[in-house]
Amino acid sequence: MKESLGATGLILNEPLLWEKGKKGRCGFSFPRRDVEPCPLDEELTGEGPDFPDLSEVDVVRHYTRLAQWNFGVDTGMYPLGSCTMKYSPKTNEKQASLPGFTGAHPLLPSSLSQGALKMMFEFEQYLNEITGMYATTLQPAAGAHGEFTGMLIIYAFHKKQGAQRSKIIVPDTAHGTNPASVSLCGFRPVPVTSNEQGILSVEAIAEIMDQDTAGIMVTNPNTLGLFEENIQKIAQIVHAKGGLVYCDGANMNAVMGMVKMGNIGIDVMQLNLHKTFSTPHGGGGPGSGPVSVAKHLEPFLPVPRVVEENNTYILAEDYPDSIGKISAFHGAFGVIIKAYSYIRSMGPENLKKASQLAVLNANYIKERLKGTLHLPYDRPCMHECVFSDKHQATQNIATLDMAKRLMDYGFHPPTVHFPLVVPGAIMVEPTETESKEDIDQFIETFKAIASEARENPDLLHHAPKSCKVKRLDEVTAARKPCLTG
């Protein structure tokens, strides 16, 4: 068998702690009592909670074994598309755990939080510079929360103009959170189809933009990994009819230091710090989705704002047009520190280089795999490339079969079946942090899988073979989820 990085026989089975426990075992000795015993109140003495009795080594092995079932970016390549899963330097974790930060309480007065406030103030300036926007709020706790904040700002802007509008244009390539944020804010999402090149056409927007449309929500680069080349003309059309342009900046990893969104007609955008700026993510958090705005939208930003006065940083509340507070305290502070540390340690030149390498790596994969896998949009891509299973479909092999087989070779599968505009999509984002050797191995693996699809399709239908958990029944898992373990 060809040597692969997949699971070996030494990955052990592991029962639940309740099945492992034996009455009377103990993993911890309490210190000798130095006060007189005092019986608990009557009502507190009944049956205790149902905890298993375990020794220390039982517990250590349990969690160590479970950890070995896990796969993360510290284990190997994690080439998800539309969700930058790059390796985040460990030094940024270290800065976030400095005692001055971890010990700071959000209710401390400004006079005792000068360091934290200064960091937030400077970080906002850095994000203004990177995005080319005028001002930033750090409050939103995720990309979707940032989108929602941006929509509230657009709503507040039109309200202030005295003419409320009801619709927002959303392209068919949008991430699902986009129409959700639009609807949650009371707008109606109006879908628009991308052209045969996978991007928005000026004509399509000109046709549907009207006086009742509050704006457009466009992801740039979009979820096909393509740069919206017509964005400036589209922004002109939207602005001419009194609308605003929102940019979903989740894909900023492709354009740091290369595109200033403020210069290409964007009025408001969010950044996903947990994608681009060095917070490892997955499993639901923590995240951070700062929102940056052009000058005319600054009055609507959430409060409090960090303001500098005579070298002192204060939290200012006096913004009458503000949409108010949109999260407890000051956002996901730990994530903000990591992003600040990342930007400071990289500097402008290296941030730009990171984006250039991310784009180079994606184009390298696109070019080397395009004979093996069908490439629906054969043109230069940004940080990610989208293939489909069209070639393999003739062998009755679908995207899912190939994704599952990748696990046998030690690779986390890429994003599959997204974006929805490409049937059987396989969306790969290698990021800038993977070496050429690892990327080559990924490419060779995909080629090997394509050969298997021709020669031994049955192998793929039953993949993965050597993983801890084999092919799952996804329909039953979705219909009858087992949530108790």
Which chain residues interact with ligand PLP by CB under 6 A?
A: 82-83, 142-144, 175, 177, 219, 223, 248, 250-251, 272, 287, 289
Please, what sign has the CA dihedral across residues 192, 198, 199, 204? negative
Smallest gap from residue 354 Cβ to ligand PLP (A) = 17
Distances (CA, A) of 183 to 147, 166, 260, 275: 11, 10, 28, 24
CB of 170 or CB of 463, closer to ligand PLP: 170
Smallest separation, CB 335 to ligand PLP (Å)? 11
Tokens encoding 311:
């070298």
* C-alpha Rg value of the chain to the nearest Å: 26
Nearer to ligand PLP among residue 286 and residue 457 (C-beta): 286
Give the closest residue to 62 by CA, choosing from 24, 14, 18, 25. 14
| C-alpha to C-alpha distances, 404 to 45, 413, 438, 478, nearest whole angstrom | 52, 7, 19, 18
Give which of 305, 333, 347, 343 is closest to 116, Cα–Cα: 333
- Between 257 and 289, CB nearer to ligand PLP: 289
Q: How far is the CB of 281 from ligand PLP (least distance, A)?
A: 8
User: In the bound complex, what is the minimum distance in angstroms from residue 85's beta carbon to ligand PLP?
Assistant: 10
In eight-state DSSP terms, residue 110 is G
Close Cβ partners of 107 (under 8 Å, ≥ 6 residues apart): none
Segments in 177-252 forming alpha helices (H): 177-184, 202-208, 231-240
Which lies closer to ligand PLP via its Cβ, residue 81 or residue 464? Answer: 81
Least distance to ligand PLP, CB of residue 175, Å: 3
Q: How far apart are CA 237 and CA 221, in angstroms?
A: 19
Q: Which is nearer to ligand PLP, 224 or 406 (CB)?
A: 224
At its nearest, how many Å lie between ligand PLP and the CB of residue 72? 17
Residue whose C-beta lies closest to ligand PLP:
143
Question: 352 Cβ partners below 8 Å, 6+ apart?
Answer: 256, 257, 258
Tell me how far, at minimum, the Cβ of 199 lies from ligand PLP, in Å: 15
Q: Give 82 or 278: the residue with its C-beta nearer to ligand PLP.
A: 82
Closer to ligand PLP by Cβ: residue 265 or 287 = 287
